[in-house]
Amino acid sequence: MLGFGTIIPVIRDLTRELVQMSDLNEDHAEIYGGLLMASYSFAQFLASPIWGRLSDIYGRKRILMMTLAGNILAYGMWGISSNFGVFLLSRLLAGFSGGNLSVAQSYLVDVTSAQERAKAMGLMGAIFGLGFILGPFLGAELSQWHLGLGGGNSYASIGYFCMVLSLINFSWVVVSLRDMRKRQPSNRKLFHPSVLWKEVRSSKVSYLLGAYFFLQAGFVQLEAVLAWDLWERFAYDTRTTGHFFAALGIVMVLVQGGIYRVLVNRWDLWKITTRGMVGVIAAYLILPLQTMSLAYFSVICLMAYGLGTVNPSLPTLISLQTRETEQGFQLGLMHSLGAITRIIAPILATGLFHAWSFAPFYLSALFSALALMLFLRQRKNLNYGH
């Protein structure tokens, strides 16, 4: 997650440079930036349920090692990329390897009891938040370093830094991770994208999966246009944009690493998630109306609070309603749905932003409202009380 976050503050300027180096139309740089984000997610969409199913069969550790090796290669390609096409290939490989989030969450499910799972998911979310803090900050700082190696791009130092991180991560998994899962016989065929809709509809947690899909669709739209909006609204440069994302990450860590654990002891997950979604919807509606940077950041904090309570709750609820031998697959489905949003939403959001800067925010509010409706429908179907 630390490596993933480094691209957030530089995607705007890196895209402009790659477009210029490739003799593409610079007037549509936002669209090319959306394409880069979508390519990562397209590959992740294909890979997530496959890695999840393979980890159910062959064990989590082996699959994590394979995917981390892919990360090492992908970030190395970032460093040497001197045109848009090569960098696009590096993002596809990184996305395919990044489908291992479902494997990591499945491992966490393996080693925690049902009673402790929500807190463990919250802690994992806090760790993600730390990556979200330090990643953009380091990306912004490393963007000032130019290696002068010839070829490549002005942001090659970030790619090489992330390659080293992935190598350290790979070594850590090899040495320290103990696989808790024995091989599981499975009569399910390996997942194929063509059966995604059928699998989602037949799932016992179909409405939770749908809620995750629409919630992610809203957030990815914001993520895709936030740097552009900060530039248009407040003239934030690359470094200031990175610091903004880092400050946002601090809020997310405080929520998921501290506040969320307190909430879990007081309320059930259904109540926590409902209130979090309401906060997210309100933030999307209010955000485009802000003209002062402090007020803008305050609304972003409200959104971070809502997402910080919802994001660990949904996979926890899915795992609690899923058979043990299917958890890797179901969490893979969840992340695959999230990846679909990262294919469509960046292109949709940047296109809408180009036409009217308020449009992506209001569409995110609509998507989040749909997520809340599906979530409440799932709660009703499972006969949970208030």
State residue 375 phi and psi, 5-degree precision: -60, -45
Tokens describing residue 266: 């007081």
Calpha distance 310→298 (Å, rounded): 19
Residue 189 lies in a domain: no
Q: What is the tens place of the pLDDT at every residue in 110-140?
A: 888 877 877 787 777 777 767 767 887 788 8
Across 268-374, where does the E strand assignment appear? none
Residue 96 in any domain: the answer is yes
Predicted TM-score (pTM) of this structure:
0.71
CB under 8 Å to 359, separation ≥6 — which residues? 352, 353
Domain-located, residue 367: yes
What is the token pair recorded at 42?
């397209």
Instruction: State pLDDT tens for residues 170-184.
Output: 999 999 888 765 545
**pLDDT at residue 342 tops 80:** no
Asked if the structure places residue 357 within a domain, the reply is: yes
Q: Is residue 15 part of a domain?
A: yes
Q: How many residues does the chain have?
A: 386
Let me know if residue 81 belongs to a domain: yes
Domain that holds residue 331: 2-178+205-378
Residue with the bigger pLDDT between 183 and 36: it is: 36
The answer to the question of residue 195 being in a domain is: no
In a domain, 184, yes or no: no
pLDDT digits (tens, 9 = 90+) for 356-385: 889 999 999 999 999 999 999 888 877 544
The answer to whether the CB of 46 falls within 8 A of the CB of 100 is no
Q: What's the structural domain count of the chain?
A: 1
Residue 192 pLDDT: 53
Per-residue pLDDT at 148 exceeds 60? no
What band does 386 get if pLDDT is binned at 50, 70 and 90?
very low
For residue 369, what pLDDT is reported?
96
CATH code of the domain in which 59 resides: 1.20.1250.20
Write down the pLDDT at residue 111: 82
